[in-house]
Amino acid sequence: MNYEFASDNTAPAIPEILTAIAEANHGAALSYGADPWTDRLREVLTLETEFPSTTIPLLYGDLVLRGVRPRADGSYPLADLEAALTPETGAVAVSVVQYASGYRVDLEGLAQLCRDRGLALCLNVAQALGLAPVDFAGLGATFLAGTSHKWLMGGYGVGVLAIKKEWLESTPLPMAGWLSVQAQDQWQPFVHAERDDDPEGFTAWGTRIRREASALELGAGSFAGLHGLNAALALHEAVGSTTTLAHDVALQLELRKRLRDRGFVPSSPDVPATLSGICVVKVQGDPQEVVRALVRDERVVTTARGGGLRISTHVYNTLDDVERLLAALDTLGVKPG
Ligand SMILES: Cc1ncc(COP(=O)(O)O)c(C=O)c1O
């Protein structure tokens, strides 16, 4: 089918283009501009201490972010999130576990709030996958994204994305690659495009891609990474995320008690319901120097995050490791900041 467009801007060229694209995409993923959610979703509620991978893509996507400030103890009670909602808020985007404090949000409560208010729920699970159970379907969450190289221990370079079917069907995917098309459409550079030939060349526009999350796997995968992820998932499934979380919470309670006895103050409450495998405490001096000294002199690995020393415990750690860390802090003379 050929479309002819008038050469001046007052002619109704745009509706014809949209019609052409809509026809080209009939039965396949929506094309850009045909998104019924765009008008509804302008403002997203998030947390002030989020990792930037939650916030920057949304800011870059021209969404308005509404932020919730943490309480003095580092917590984000559900009531504070609810109070910060405005009539403009269309979604909530949070990390299930906060990287700079270890605070784990009330997922059940948040999901219920989103269902009650008709809000989309976007979960960054980078610091939760492999540590805490996240029932994407059961929660009725809308989006979930996370990396494989943290608690999942699946190596670098791959990650996971889940999109609620309803959104997948009604929202255009932001990009397409050669593997985004149907299998029978592969290897055809202009598949499903409208084409207008002229003596010097031709003009092509529009295509059709699959309406599946895997259409976002745009090209050849990171196969080594995917095998690593697969092996890591098998390991985690054998242990069970409920077991892992219970182990970590118990160990964090011990760690935090001993740290508090020494005057250190964790930047999130010692409450099992909001604990993860992360504890961050302020130290005297540059936390990065403390991290270096701990690994160089005492062979204890920590991280500098959230303005302090981040101490992480996973399912393979024991109370002996906690004691070893504390002895290392004593030996190095690390003081609360
Ligand atoms: C939610 C979230 N938190 C934290 C991080 C950074 O992790 P870390 O502080 O362990 O380097 C990332 C990086 O991908 C992330 O997506």
CATH number at 220 reads: 3.40.640.10
Q: Does residue 54 surpass a pLDDT of 70?
A: yes
Q: What is the C-alpha separation between 113 and 115, in angstroms, rounded?
A: 5
Domain assignment present for 102: yes
Count of domains forming the chain? 3
Residue 170 has a pLDDT of 82
Residue 14 has a pLDDT of 53
Question: Measured in angstroms, how far is the CA atom of residue 251 from the centroid of ligand 1?
Answer: 22
Domain assignment present for 1: no
Inter-residue contact 172 to 31 (CB < 8 Å): yes
Q: Does residue 135 surpass a pLDDT of 60?
A: yes
Residue 84 has a pLDDT of 98
**Is residue 186 domain-shared with residue 151, that is, in the same domain?**
no
The whole domain housing 268 covers 241-332
Domain assignment present for 93: yes
Mutate to test the pocket of ligand 1, among 47, 51, 291 (most ligand atoms within 8 A of CB): 51
Give the residue-averaged pLDDT of 217-244: 93
At 173, which amino acid appears?
L
Domain assignment present for 127: yes
Q: What is the C-alpha separation between 186 and 197, in angstroms, rounded?
A: 22
DSSP letters, 140-156, are: T-SEEEEESSSTT---S
Any ligand 1 atom below 6 A from CB of 136? no
Q: What percent of the chain has pLDDT over 70?
A: 88
Structure tokens at 257: 């008690």
**Is residue 202 domain-shared with residue 256, that is, in the same domain?**
no
Index of the ligand 1 atom closest to the CA of residue 100: 9
Domain assignment present for 271: yes
Any ligand 1 atom below 6 A from CB of 53? yes
Any ligand 1 atom below 6 A from CB of 149? no
Index of the ligand 1 atom closest to the CA of residue 150: 10
**Is residue 268 domain-shared with residue 157, that is, in the same domain?**
no
Any ligand 1 atom below 6 A from CB of 151? no
Token pair 């054998």 in the structure block, residue = 238
**Is residue 255 domain-shared with residue 183, that is, in the same domain?**
no
Question: Measured in angstroms, how far is the CA atom of residue 102 from the centroid of ligand 1?
Answer: 11
Domain assignment present for 184: yes
Residue 1 has a pLDDT of 36
Residue 41 has a pLDDT of 83
Domain assignment present for 45: yes
Report the SS3 class of residue 270. coil
Any ligand 1 atom below 6 A from CB of 127? yes
**Is residue 153 domain-shared with residue 275, that is, in the same domain?**
no
pLDDT in tens, 204-229: 999 999 988 889 999 988 899 999 99
Question: Measured in angstroms, how far is the CA atom of residue 118 from the centroid of ligand 1?
Answer: 28
Residue 253 has a pLDDT of 98
| 179, 208, 252, 300 from 246: Cα distances, Å | 41, 47, 10, 23
Any ligand 1 atom below 6 A from CB of 150? yes
**Is residue 26 domain-shared with residue 165, that is, in the same domain?**
yes
Q: What percent of the chain has pLDDT over 90?
A: 80
**Is residue 192 domain-shared with residue 307, that is, in the same domain?**
no
DSSP structure class, residue 260: H
Structure tokens at 325: 């860390």
Residue 95 has a pLDDT of 98
- Contacts of residue 316, defined as CB under 8 A and 6 or more positions apart, other chains included, come to none
Q: Does residue 2 surpass a pLDDT of 70?
A: no
**Is residue 155 domain-shared with residue 265, that is, in the same domain?**
no
Residue 32 has a pLDDT of 47
**From 181-190, 195-204, 222-231, 258-267, the region with the lowest mean pLDDT:** 222-231
Mutate to test the pocket of ligand 1, among 54, 127, 278 (most ligand atoms within 8 A of CB): 127
pLDDT in tens, 78-90: 999 999 999 999 9
Residue 8 has a pLDDT of 36
Residue 56 has a pLDDT of 96
The structure's pTM equals 0.86
Give the residue-averaged pLDDT of 33-42: 62
Decide: residue 261, CB within 10 A, 0-12 exposed, 13-18 middle, 19+ buried: exposed
Q: Does residue 23 surpass a pLDDT of 90?
A: no
Residue 283 has a pLDDT of 98
Radius of gyration, CA atoms only, the chain: 25
Index of the ligand 1 atom closest to the CA of residue 310: 9
DSSP structure class, residue 266: B
What number of other Cβ atoms are within 10 A of residue 234's Cβ? 9
Mutate to test the pocket of ligand 1, among 46, 143, 148, 150 (most ligand atoms within 8 A of CB): 150
- Contacts of residue 282, defined as CB under 8 A and 6 or more positions apart, other chains included, come to 264, 265, 267, 307, 308, 309, 336, 337
**From 25-39, 53-67, 153-167, the region with the lowest mean pLDDT:** 25-39
Could you tell me the strand order of the sheet in which 120-124 lies?
64-68, 43-47, 89-95, 120-124, 143-147, 159-163
Any ligand 1 atom below 6 A from CB of 126? yes
**Is residue 196 domain-shared with residue 95, that is, in the same domain?**
no
Residue 173 has a pLDDT of 87
Q: Does residue 38 surpass a pLDDT of 60?
A: no
**Is residue 247 domain-shared with residue 315, that is, in the same domain?**
yes
Q: Does residue 13 surpass a pLDDT of 50?
A: no
Domain assignment present for 116: yes
Residue 213 has a pLDDT of 83
**Is residue 116 domain-shared with residue 232, that is, in the same domain?**
yes
**Is residue 63 domain-shared with residue 89, that is, in the same domain?**
yes
pLDDT in tens, 256-282: 999 999 999 999 999 999 999 999 999
Q: What is the C-alpha separation between 270 and 73, in angstroms, rounded?
A: 10
Residue 45 has a pLDDT of 98
